[in-house]
Amino acid sequence: MPWIEATLRGQRVLARAHADGSLATEGGRVEIRYKPNDGRVYRASPRNLERAPGGPLLPDETCAALGQKPPAGSPPSAAADASRPASSVRGVPAGRRPSSAAQTAGTATSRAWVAYTDGACSGNPGPAGCGVVLVAPDGKMHEGQEYLGEATNNVAELTGILRAIEWTPADAGALVVHTDSQYAIGVLQRGWKAKANQELVSRTKRAVEDRRARLVYVPGHQGVALNERADELAREAVQTHQTRIVDA
């Protein structure tokens, strides 16, 4: 049974959910976790839980069983100190399918591809990179990253969105791209005037329009699993100067 990110009296938690994203109650209460790697189980009234907007469904193994640590191969955000070396940039082993990860709030069809993108910059401008996590309609995840050389954070954010679109199969149906960049959403879909990066903005905007992609804002560094993973990939690209293209 999957998990969703929710808020309980102002505190972020993970709560049990059904495949359609609704809270899963047992005896009128919902199982929650304050920390995915804690192993302690709590119960809360569903009326006290508020689902995080735009948050994805997370696979069952996101949280450890009672008294246990998360199993090997769990999503990287399942443990507070999780990290991966560059050699595992593909992340999830081939064929692994987190069945609920592809479903997000607001996704209109089960055939939709879902992307999480992020940019990183050491200095602004400075060495920059972007990270992309793509989730196919069947739940299979693909990861990629690109080292961009000297660039700004905004360039990294825009490039991440552009690569997510370019790396999604051409015959894919709907595409929902999650980003924590209000700037990128503003210049691409809200009519903000781009004072810089005009060529990149124009190219990315055309890609968004051509693929009819929908951009969704997700708060950064707030424990959203796949957003955190995209951030890790972006920072890894900066540190290693490596580019790994998604082969979906």
Quote the radius of gyration of the chain (alpha carbons, Å).
18
Beta pairing class for 126-135 and 49-51: unpaired
Catalytic residue among 5, 31, 61, 118: 118
Catalytic residue among 180, 228, 232, 236: 180
Catalytic residue among 5, 31, 146, 157: 157
| 247 in catalytic set | no
The one-letter code for the residue type at 173 is G
Catalytic residue among 55, 91, 119, 160: 119
Catalytic residue among 50, 149, 150, 221: 221
> 132-148 in b/e burial notation, b at 16+ Cβ within 10 A?
bbbbbbebbbbbbbbbb
| 146 in catalytic set | no
Region of 245 on the Ramachandran plot (φ > 0 left; ψ -120 to 50 alpha; else beta): beta
Beta pairing class for 113-121 and 29-33: unpaired
| 221 in catalytic set | yes
| 119 in catalytic set | yes
| 180 in catalytic set | yes
| 60 in catalytic set | no
Q: Pick the closest to residue 217 from 49, 71, 67, 105 (CA basis).
A: 105
Active site residues: 118-119, 157, 180, 221, 231
